[in-house]
């Protein structure tokens, strides 16, 4: 039975400490590196995020999600894959796991079918599959060309070390290739075509590889990694800055706020740490001390009207909802990739913001908020579209709305399973309701 969440807040003063789980982005990179390193690299502080727990299970061998020999996947009864003899790995809704494992299995010997949730079968993988095929991998599509599920047939034989890849669809394809690059017999010279989206995630990958002893050279649009061995090391996963963004949003919508988020540092590998700069525009100061970050709200007029979110797409929902809540009619760019994430996040934002009379209007790839028709509904029902960030980005609105109901509370587990209990600890009323 699906549980909805009823959320209320009876005062607008926030004061407390929050311990966030590890970043799923860092954790999933670390797990692939660990798996490729022949025991040299270990991962410390594995994230509780469901996407990370799932990948750890798959790579460390105690997975429930891995279905062996001829077992039938839920929802796939008519598919050809039900009769196959390969191992089937189901990564559910985990985008990074899908992309990183595609590259990982492409260079292993065993035959594997990689599949995922209904939505995962709509999220494109063709750009990565084309690149891996050019390198020498044997990969077939099981249902629709360009989309999971895919069959990775083993027998990798490197054909070239120079490949090109589009940079503007998902940086996860690039990360996936970089993670396996040093394990390729001839290394990799990766040419990025056009704009690179989500660049900090590529930098995170290279920084983590560097910690694991893998050197790279990045000049212009070419990243090169030679064949080399991993060094013995431990990769430690930092708390999740994307999760921290919801607490920044809560602080921005409160009358008074003092929050301490433990474990976060100013020199994060995560591009989403830019939330400190973004939220400074909304009067939230960030002070790093005592092993974490102290947030404090200062009441001041909002200064910035234009936000380019190309380097931090996972912050888009958080920032747009905060602006809508504060009637700040800002405009946003860099949102192109949002349409192929857990849901079409543009459409989801437009639909849910409309429930309080706010419009998000697109013109030539610039999205502008129109709050002229905004109203405060007595009870708002937020659809979440299997997207953790729809639930978490809208939750701070409980500070300005009398009562909210969220479809499918457990959706947050993908990256931040303790989200609702953390809200409760900070004085929100959180009630489960059978849907
Ligand atoms: O590499 C990563 O860990 C991620 C990259 C981003 O995806 P895109 O590169 O597809 O924008 C981001 O949205 C996702 O949540 C995590
Ligand atoms: C886009 C996201 O995840 P993924 O692509 O890994 O499914 C996200 O966490 O916002």
CATH topology assigned to domain 24-236: UDP-n-acetylglucosamine1-carboxyvinyl-transferase; Chain (3.65.10)
More confident site: 77 or 422? 422
The answer to whether the 3-22+238-434 and 24-236 domains have the same CATH topology is yes
Specify the pairing of strand 150-152 against strand 3-8: unpaired
Ligand 2 pocket, residue 341 CB under 6 Å: yes
For residue range 266-286, list pLDDT tens digits in order. Answer: 999 999 999 999 999 999 999
For residue range 173-189, list pLDDT tens digits in order. Answer: 999 999 999 999 999 99
Mutate to test the pocket of ligand 2, among 414, 416, 417, 419 (most ligand atoms within 8 A of CB): 414
ipTM entry? 0.99
Residue 86 binned pLDDT confidence (cut-offs 50, 70, 90): confident
Ligand 2 pocket, residue 389 CB under 6 Å: yes
Q: What is the pTM of this model?
A: 0.95
Task: Indicate which residues carry an active-site annotation.
Answer: 314
Whole-number mean pLDDT of the chain? 94
Burial of 109 (0-12, 13-18, 19+ CB in 10 A): exposed
- Binding site as annotated, residues for 3-phosphoshikimate: 24-25, 29, 170-172, 198, 314, 341
Q: What is the mean pLDDT of residues 395-412?
A: 98
Q: For residue 28, which atom of ligand 1 is closest to its CA?
A: 3
Ligand 1 pocket, residue 96 CB under 6 Å: yes
Cα gap 377→372, rounded to integer Å: 15
Mutate to test the pocket of ligand 1, among 93, 97, 192, 198 (most ligand atoms within 8 A of CB): 198
More confident site: 371 or 84? 371
Q: Whose CA is nearest to atom 1 of ligand 2?
A: 341
CATH homologous superfamily of 3-22+238-434: Enolpyruvate transferase domain (3.65.10.10)
Q: What is the largest CA-CA distance in the chain?
A: 63
For residue range 20-35, list pLDDT tens digits in order. Answer: 999 999 999 999 999 9
Q: For residue 175, which atom of ligand 1 is closest to its CA?
A: 1
Ligand 2 pocket, residue 314 CB under 6 Å: yes
Burial of 217 (0-12, 13-18, 19+ CB in 10 A): exposed
For residue range 109-159, list pLDDT tens digits in order. Answer: 999 999 999 999 999 999 999 999 999 999 999 999 999 999 999 999 999
* Segments making up each domain of the chain, as ranges: 3-22+238-434, 24-236
For residue range 56-79, list pLDDT tens digits in order. Answer: 999 998 545 454 433 334 444 445
pLDDT at position 61, please?
82
Q: Whose CA is nearest to atom 2 of ligand 1?
A: 25
Cα gap 273→258, rounded to integer Å: 18
């Amino acid at each position: 039975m699906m549980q909805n969440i009823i959320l209320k807040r009876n005062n607008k003063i926030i004061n407390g400490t929050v311990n966030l789980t590890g970043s799923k982005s860092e954790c999933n990179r670390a797990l692939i590196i660990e798996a490729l390193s022949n025991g040299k690299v270990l991962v410390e502080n594995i994230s509780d995020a469901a996407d990370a727990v799932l990948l750890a299970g798959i790579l460390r061998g105690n997975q429930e999600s891995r279905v062996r020999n001829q077992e039938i996947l839920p929802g796939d009864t008519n598919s050809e894959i039900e009769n196959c003899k390969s191992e089937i790995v189901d990564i559910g809704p985990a985008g990074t796991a899908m992309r990183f494992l595609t590259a990982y299995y492409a260079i292993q010997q065993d035959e594997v079918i990689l599949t995922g949730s209904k939505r995962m079968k709509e999220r494109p993988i063709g750009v990565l599959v084309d690149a891996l095929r050019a390198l020498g991998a044997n990969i077939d599509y099981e249902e629709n060309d360009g989309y999971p599920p895919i069959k990775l047939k083993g027998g990798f034989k490197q054909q070239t070390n120079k490949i090109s890849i589009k940079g503007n669809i998902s940086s996860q394809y690039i990360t996936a290739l970089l993670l396996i690059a040093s394990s390729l017999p001839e290394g990799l010279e990766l040419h990025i075509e056009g704009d690179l989206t989500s660049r900090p995630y590529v930098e995170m990958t290279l920084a983590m590889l560097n910690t694991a002893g893998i050197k790279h050279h990045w000049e212009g649009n070419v990243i090169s990694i030679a064949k080399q061995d991993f060094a013995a090391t431990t990769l430690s996963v930092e708390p999740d800055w994307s999760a921290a963004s919801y607490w920044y949003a809560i602080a921005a919508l409160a009358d008074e706020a003092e929050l301490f988020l433990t474990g976060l540092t100013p020199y994060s590998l995560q591009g989403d740490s830019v939330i400190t700069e973004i939220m400074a525009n909304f009067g939230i100061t960030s002070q790093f001390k005592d092993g974490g970050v102290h947030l404090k709200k200062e009441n001041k007029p909002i200064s910035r009207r234009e936000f380019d979110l190309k380097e931090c797409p996972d912050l888009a929902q958080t920032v747009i909802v905060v602006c809508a809540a504060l009637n700040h009619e800002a405009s946003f760019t860099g949102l192109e990739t949002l349409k192929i994430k857990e849901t079409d996040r543009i459409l989801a934002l437009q639909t849910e913001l409309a429930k309080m009379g706010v419009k998000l209007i697109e013109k030539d790839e610039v999205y502008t908020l129109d709050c002229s028709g905004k109203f405060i509904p007595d009870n708002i029902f937020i659809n979440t579209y299997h997207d953790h960030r729809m639930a978490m980005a809208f939750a701070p609105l409980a500070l300005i709305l009398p009562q909210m109901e969220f479809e499918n509370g457990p959706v947050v587990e993908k990256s931040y399973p303790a989200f609702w209990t953390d809200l409760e600890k900070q004085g929100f009323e959180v009630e489960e309701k059978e849907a």
